[in-house]
């Protein structure tokens, strides 16, 4: 694989944002930040065998998810994604067409948000493939949706069905718990091609004091992070959490997937109770799903409780941890 030829092929022929002074082709990109806005920067690294299995996913699927998870982080701040950078460590012997397919799929996803590729790096490795994506976005000054914004009395909400990505991963790894091909494809798509909730995040940024997290490591983990940052306790209810209608019938682990499975990349957040109805109506009118799943109950101890029937269960901050390898 010729690195410089690859750069020539992936370099965009045109740019969506006039703020860019210098894009790909120099030592670094140069752009002008927009007045009245704050910049948001996030980065995620995906390693073959840890975050994806190249033996079970197409190069296009891998490229899509590598960018999508970063766009989701921008959405969780109430921002809009604008630029991205991609660095790939490529194992020797990997086909050039595979790398091009990854970039092509990232380009397709980026076009949905008018994002510009402005840089990155390509190197060889003797180990597994590693993809690192950086996304730069913007949010109106003072409107970022921070984890520290939750207050007692707030409504706790999520933007879509949970547990389906973990179900898709289980299927991917050979647990054939359903023979319904439609369900198999649905769950696998939820795992391989999550939809970043950018529109939902933008709506959240228009309201005062919304706390947000994207559900990458599991609902329990994300809500515990909000509870810790805001120093509050949260109650959520099993029968209010949105899931696929068939999920609970298919596998005994469905509840574990919903609470701790992760990689759903929906948004979990809190909003003032007196703004909830207007917020829910605005989301509905924009085609954005949103579900009330609980409330912030008190300040002080940072805890999350799960109500299942008559039981009130303390939810530990447990989810996917890259170092503990524990769910």
Binding residues: 27, 44, 51, 73, 103, 120-121, 147, 214, 216-217, 263, 320
Numbered residues of the known binding site for Mg(2+)? 27, 44, 73, 121, 214, 217
| Distance (Å, whole) CA 267 – CA 145 | 11
Contact 267, 158 (CB under 8 A): yes
Numbered residues of the known binding site for ATP? 103, 120-121, 147, 216
Numbered residues of the known binding site for substrate? 51, 263, 320
Contact 191, 261 (CB under 8 A): no
Instruction: Of 251, 255, 230, give the one whose Cα is nearest residue 306.
Output: 255
| Distance (Å, whole) CA 69 – CA 104 | 17
What contacts 303, CB < 8 A, 6 or more positions away? 227, 233, 234, 314
Contact 303, 233 (CB under 8 A): yes
CA dihedral 220, 41, 107, 114 (to 10 degrees): 110
Packing angle of the helix pair 96-112, 59-75 (nearest 10 deg): 30
Distances (CA, A) of 237 to 218, 221, 299: 15, 16, 19
Provide the 10 A C-beta neighbour count for residue 308: 11
* Helix, strand, coil share (%) of the chain residues, nearest 5: 35, 30, 35
């Amino acid at each position: 694989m010729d690195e410089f030829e690859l750069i020539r092929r992936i370099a965009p022929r045109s740019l969506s944002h006039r703020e860019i002074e210098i894009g790909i082709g120099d030592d670094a990109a140069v752009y002008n930040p927009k007045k009245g806005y704050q910049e948001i920067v996030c980065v995620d690294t995906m390693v073959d065998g840890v975050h994806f299995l190249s033996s079970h996913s197409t190069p296009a699927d891998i490229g899509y998810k590598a960018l999508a998870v970063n766009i989701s982080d921008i959405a969780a701040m109430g921002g809009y994604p604008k630029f991205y950078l991609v660095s790939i460590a490529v194992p020797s012997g990997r086909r050039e067409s595979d790398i091009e397919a990854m970039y092509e799929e990232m380009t397709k996803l980026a076009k949905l948000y008018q994002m510009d590729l402005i840089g990155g790096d390509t190197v060889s490795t003797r180990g597994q493939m590693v993809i690192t994506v950086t996304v730069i976005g913007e949010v109106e000054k003072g409107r970022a949706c921070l984890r520290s914004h939750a207050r007692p009395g707030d409504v706790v909400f999520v933007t879509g069905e949970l547990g389906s990505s973990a179900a898709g991963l289980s299927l991917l790894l050979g647990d054939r718990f359903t023979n319904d091909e439609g369900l198999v494809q649905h769950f696998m798509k939820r795992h391989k091609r999550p939809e970043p909730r950018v529109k939902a995040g933008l709506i959240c940024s228009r309201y005062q004091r919304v706390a947000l997290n994207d559900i990458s490591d599991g609902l329990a983990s994300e809500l515990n992070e909000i509870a810790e940052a805001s120093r509050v306790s949260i109650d959520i209810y099993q029968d209010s959490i949105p899931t696929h209608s068939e999920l609970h019938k298919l596998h005994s682990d469905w509840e574990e997937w919903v609470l701790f499975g992760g990689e759903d990349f929906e948004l979990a957040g809190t909003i003032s109770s007196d703004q909830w109805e207007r917020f829910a109506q605005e989301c509905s009118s924009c085609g954005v799903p949103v579900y009330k799943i609980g409330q912030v109950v008190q300040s002080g101890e940072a805890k999350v409780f799960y109500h299942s029937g008559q039981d009130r269960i303390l939810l530990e901050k447990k989810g996917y941890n890259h170092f503990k390898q524990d769910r």
